[in-house]
Structure 1
Amino acid sequence: MNPKPDESNPDMQGEGNYVAGRHYNEATKQFVEQGKVDGAAAAAKPESPDEARDLERAEEEGKSRAKGEDPQLKPKSSGEDQQRPK
């Protein structure tokens, strides 16, 4: 059973914190609209080939535990089978 919000704990919102979600969405939208994405991406680049390899290994390790690609990340194309074996 999911806890329900009550007056004794206004931060408790059951399945999710909708206020925090709204704040996050607004901040993300502003970040993009202000053109900060390219600068943040450049700042996040690995500083050395060793760091790049470490990041690639970590990504592969994470992917090895994943159930699969989120179908919403890739648009469906008419001729493509969505359940292709790896």
Structure 2
Amino acid sequence: MTDKNQGEGDKISAEKYNKGATEFAKSGRVEAAAQDAKKALEGKERKELIGAEVLGKSHAHGEDPQVKR
């Protein structure tokens, strides 16, 4: 691995993320993670999670148009 600045669009990090996401999707743990997330949103963590979502969206440049296909 190199410490060289890759500029905008860090390819090494993108490859790591894509590999990890693919491995997770194939792992068989997706349904359990989804159920855990649902329980968190329905439980004590709801307020904190909603606050984090609002904060994250406040930094965004808008919703990705591809999200609402």
- Return 5+ residue gaps in structure 2 as ranges: none
Distance, in Å, in 2 between the alignment partners of 1:42 and 1:34 is 15
Question: Please, which of 11, 23, 31 is the counterpart of residue 3 of structure 2?
Answer: 11
- Give the structure-2-normalised TM-score: 0.61
1:21 Cα offset (Å)? 1.2
Q: Which runs of 4+ in 1 moved over 6 A?
A: none
Q: CA deviation at 1:60?
A: 4.0
Report sequence identity in percent.
41
After superposition, what is the alpha-carbon deviation per residue over 1:53-75, rounded to whole angstroms, capped at 9, x for unaligned? Answer: 3323x134544x35532211011
Instruction: Report the TM-score when normalising by structure 1.
Output: 0.53
5+ residue gaps, structure 1, are: 1-9, 76-86
Cα distance between partner residues in 1 of 2:41 and 2:61: 31
Report the counterpart of residue 46 of structure 2 in structure 1. 52
In terms of fraction of residues, the more helix-rich structure is 2
CA RMSD of aligned residues (A): 2.6
